[in-house]
Amino acid sequence: MKAPWDLLKLRTEYYEHVIKGMLEAIGVPLEKLKFVRGTNYQLSREYTLDVYKLSSLTSLRNAQKAGAEVVKQVESPPCSGLLYPLLQALDEEYLHVDAQFGGVDQRKIFTYAETNLPKIGYTKRLHFMNPMVPGLTGNKMSSSEPSSKIDLLDTAEDVVKKVGGAFCEVGNVDHNGVLSFARMVLFPLLGDKEFIIERPEKWGGNKIYKTYEELKAAFAAEEIHPGDLKKAVAGLLNGLLEPIRKKFDNPEMQKLADSAYPEEAKARIAAQKAQAAAKAAKGKKKGPPVKPTEIGLLDIRVGQVVSVEVHPDPTGSHLYVEKVDIGEGAPRTIVSGLVKYISKEDFTGRKVLLAANLKAGKFKGVVSAGMVLAASNADGTQVELLDPPTEAKIGERVVFEGFPVLEPAATCNAKNLKKILPGLNTDENCICRFKEVQFATSAGPCRVATLANANIK
């Protein structure tokens, strides 16, 4: 159901090469490895008769129960889904295996096989199971959600992007796909080697962990920043995947991959053409850059922090709840994830820049009516607040030369904010900009202390 018959042969060839590459990458000898296609025995008279035998012994309820975690459950299931556990059980006999290995989602099929194969005269096999690795996005890993998983042929850039965008909340060790990859994939393969998190000396230098338990305890204690953990995990994963990429880095293997997955190949080629066209068009532009208009949708105000407290919810200890005066009579309540980067004493009383016309959002029970803007380096290990000039007036709006200014009551929705954020940055002199246009106040431009060529968010 997942692939047309004419692609099955190509895909099994593709799987064989990928699996061999994966095993070679972790030092597994291949001399005794054997690949068997199901059609080599599943079309035989004997196999077919055994399917009938199991069908006569299996109730509808037991077939549905056996496949509950593997086969899609619907009100009126097709017969193929009901037969699936029976066929997998028979595969053990016809492959002549001593044991079967799978994820814990296979356990009900394994139980079915142990119960029913002896009823038709076959030996009960051993079954080994491993836990399911959670997806990077915080949900179940799924082929339908590419960002939730790492593919064996992902590029190094893809791996960095996927791991960098993974759900990895500060101090959260229970629902953390990045930590799960470290536990279930990396540490078992490291052997006697150490897990190293590389950081600049000003942030404490490198940290070395010999066991997953040490890493987990350090992350729970918030001794490791999520950005540093992601960088280390992405680096080790890329080290594991590089030999597999090299195996496919030739015309023959690339042709096989494209033939086995033609739709993906079309999408990849189309994306490459689009990138090339965009690059060529950019190279043809002459004169000063065109000034986009979207920044006019965001109402950025000069504010002053009146008070700062750590979030009252124990699970929000990485968040500040601050009161910020932007000249409205009463200060606004703002929630910011800045506990690791600035002390309450340094935060209280200082002038800041506030995105004031965002839709209010609730953070662990506290409603935040805006966002304090800050700059960060690429891996998020260093964050600095944006500083308006000392003489800037509380409540005045930051303007951008050449851009239209909306009425203060207008709301910048999530779609528009998504367009704006990638353009916010600092230049080589730490001046705050939208693309190449400075943040301007009545007293001059805004800046940060030390972060040059950084992103603002």
Same domain, 252 and 303: no
pLDDT at site 143: 66
Same domain, 170 and 116: no
Using CA atoms, how far residue 69 sits from 43, 52, 79, 105, 406, in Å, is 27, 24, 16, 5, 53
Q: What residues have CB less than 8 Å from 55, skipping those under 6 apart?
A: 83, 86
pLDDT at site 139: 66
pLDDT at site 407: 63
In a domain, 23, yes or no: no
Q: What is the mean pLDDT of residues 262-278?
A: 82
Q: What CATH number has the domain bearing residue 248? A: 1.10.240.10
Q: Of the given ranges (153-157, 172-176, 251-255, 267-271), which has the lowest mean pLDDT? A: 267-271
Same domain, 315 and 434: yes
pLDDT at site 140: 66
Same domain, 249 and 384: no
pLDDT beyond 50 at 288: no
pLDDT at site 292: 47
pLDDT beyond 70 at 399: yes
Q: What CATH number has the domain bearing residue 56? A: 3.40.50.620
Same domain, 163 and 208: yes
pLDDT at site 293: 57
Q: Of the given ranges (138-152, 186-200, 375-389, 422-436), which has the lowest mean pLDDT? A: 138-152
Domain count, the chain: 3
pLDDT at site 380: 81
pLDDT at site 57: 95
Tell the residue number behind the tokens 């997942």, with chain if given: 2
Same domain, 411 and 316: yes
Same domain, 150 and 209: yes
In a domain, 271, yes or no: no
Residue where a domain stops, chosen among 218, 237, 260: 260
Q: What is the mean pLDDT of residues 355-382?
A: 89
In a domain, 266, yes or no: no
pLDDT beyond 50 at 364: yes
* Phi (first) and psi of residue 242, to 5 degrees: -60, -45
Same domain, 66 and 108: yes
CA pair distance 277, 17, nearest whole angstrom:
34
Q: What CATH number has the domain bearing residue 446? A: 2.40.50.140
pLDDT at site 287: 46
pLDDT at site 131: 86
CA pair distance 399, 440, nearest whole angstrom:
5
> Which phi-psi region, left, alpha or beta, contains residue 342 (left: φ > 0; alpha: ψ -120 to 50)?
beta
Q: Which residue has the higher pLDDT, 426 or 286?
A: 426
Q: What is the mean pLDDT of residues 340-350?
A: 91
Q: What is the mean pLDDT of residues 316-344?
A: 92
Residue where a domain stops, chosen among 130, 165, 196: 130
In a domain, 286, yes or no: no
User: 384 falls in which pLDDT band (50, 70, 90)?
Assistant: very high
Same domain, 126 and 150: no
128-141, pLDDT tens digit by residue? 998 888 888 766 66
In a domain, 8, yes or no: no
Residue where a domain stops, chosen among 260, 280, 303: 260
Secondary structure element (H or E) that encloses residue 335, with its range: strand 332-336
pLDDT at site 241: 92
Same domain, 118 and 152: no
In a domain, 442, yes or no: yes
Same domain, 329 and 416: yes
In a domain, 135, yes or no: no
User: 290 falls in which pLDDT band (50, 70, 90)?
Assistant: very low
Q: Containing domain of residue 408, as a range? A: 294-456
pLDDT beyond 50 at 238: yes
Q: Which residue has the higher pLDDT, 24 or 142?
A: 24
Strands (E), 79-134: 99-103, 126-130
Q: What is the mean pLDDT of residues 230-236?
A: 93
Q: What is the mean pLDDT of residues 111-137?
A: 92
Burial classification of residue 107, based on how many CB atoms lie within 10 Å of its CB (0-12 exposed, 13-18 middle, 19 or more buried):
middle
For a pLDDT cut of 70, what percent of the chain falls above it?
94
Same domain, 373 and 451: yes
In a domain, 436, yes or no: yes
pLDDT at site 285: 52
